[in-house]
Amino acid sequence: MARRSSCVKVVVAVAVLLVTACSGEPEPPPRELPPAGGQLDYQLGGTYQPDVPVKIVVRDRTTFADGKRYNICYLNALQTQPEKMEGGLDWWRQHHADLLVKKADGEVVIDPEWQEGVLDISTDDKRRRILEIQKKWIKGCKTAMFKGVEPDNLDSYQRSEGAFDLNATKAFMKDFVRYAHEQGLAVAQKNVAELGTAGKQEIGFDFAITEDCQALGECGAYAEAFGDAFFQIEYTDEGFRKSCADRGGRVSIIRRDRNVVPYGHDDYVYEVCPPTI
The pLDDT value given to residue 25: 66
pLDDT mean values, one per 10 residues, the chain (277 residues): 41 42 68 97 97 97 96 98 88 97 97 96 98 98 98 98 98 98 98 98 98 97 97 98 96 97 98 86
**How high is the pLDDT of residue 138?**
98
User: Parallel, antiparallel, or unpaired for β 110-111 and 40-42?
Assistant: unpaired
> From its phi and psi, is residue 106 left (phi > 0), alpha (psi between -120 and 50) or beta?
left
Please name which of 40, 59, 65, 60 lies closest in space to residue 51, comparing C-alpha atoms: 40
CA atoms within 13 A on the CB side of 261: 8
Q: Please give the model's pTM, rounded to 2 decimal places.
A: 0.90
**Would strands 148-152 and 16-21 be described as parallel, antiparallel, or unpaired?**
unpaired
Give the chain's length: 277
Domains of the chain: 33-272 (3.20.20.70)
- At residue 11, the pLDDT reads 39
Those residues whose C-beta lies under 8 Å from the C-beta of residue 265, and which sit 6 or more positions away, are 45, 46
**pLDDT at 84 (0 to 100):** 78
